[in-house]
Amino acid sequence: MTLPHSPITCEYMLSVAVIVAKEPCVAKFGPLPSKWQIVSPDPPCVNETSDWKLKILQKGLYLIYGQVAPNVTYKGPAPFEVQLRRNNDIIQTLTNNSKIQNVGGTYELFTGDIIELLFNWEHQVLKNNTYWGIILLANPQFLS
């Protein structure tokens, strides 16, 4: 197949069927003293493993969102650092301790992935104004 006005030739085409999540699957942690709040269909898409940490139970396209409020009065020895991690791999790092920052993005996640928001030192953030959450957007099905 040749695309109009393009020198590109394709031998195979990849089809994608996007199945939008029919029922909402949302999880949110914080601000403290709140714990995990999860709204999920059956079977669930996520499971809480601890404060600030989730396990993905359904593969799909997820939106991760959050807000990190630094404690500007913290004067300890550890540098300010907040990390969003997937299976211990860093997805995003925040190092600006002078203002509230947003964390997250859209990610393809797989069954068994562990997602967590990790602080270098727990007193570096204002936990009553820091939170994060996750929403299952869709389950893409790739057809060949």
Which residue range is the domain that position 115 belongs to? 17-143
Instruction: Write down the pTM of the prediction.
Output: 0.78
Q: Is the peptide bond before 4 cis (omega within 30 degrees of 0)?
A: no
The answer to whether residue 70 sits within a structural domain is yes
Q: Report the share of the chain in percent with pLDDT over 70.
A: 81
Q: Are 127 and 31 in contact (CB under 8 A)?
A: yes
Q: What is the pLDDT of residues 99-137, one digit of tens each?
A: 999 999 999 999 999 999 998 887 888 989 999 999 999
The answer to whether residue 116 sits within a structural domain is yes
The pLDDT value given to residue 110: 96
The pLDDT value given to residue 141: 67
The answer to whether residue 3 sits within a structural domain is no
The answer to whether residue 68 sits within a structural domain is yes
The answer to whether residue 74 sits within a structural domain is yes
The answer to whether residue 1 sits within a structural domain is no
Alpha-carbon distance values, 33 to 30, 45, 52, 61, 117 (Å): 7, 24, 12, 29, 16
Q: What is the phi-psi region of residue 122: left when phi exceeds 0, alpha when psi lies from -120 to 50, beta otherwise?
A: alpha
Bridge partners for 14 per DSSP: none
The pLDDT value given to residue 79: 87
Confidence tier at 13 by pLDDT (50, 70, 90): very low
The pLDDT value given to residue 10: 40
The answer to whether residue 10 sits within a structural domain is no
Retrieve residue 111's tokens: 């069954």
The answer to whether residue 90 sits within a structural domain is yes
Q: Is the pLDDT of residue 26 over 80?
A: yes
When pLDDT is averaged across residues 90-105 and rounded to a whole number, the result is: 93
- What CATH code is carried by the domain that includes residue 112? 2.60.120.40
Q: How many domains does the chain have?
A: 1
Confidence tier at 43 by pLDDT (50, 70, 90): confident
Q: Is the pLDDT of residue 74 over 50?
A: yes
CA nearest 10: which of 19, 1, 18? 1
Confidence tier at 18 by pLDDT (50, 70, 90): very low
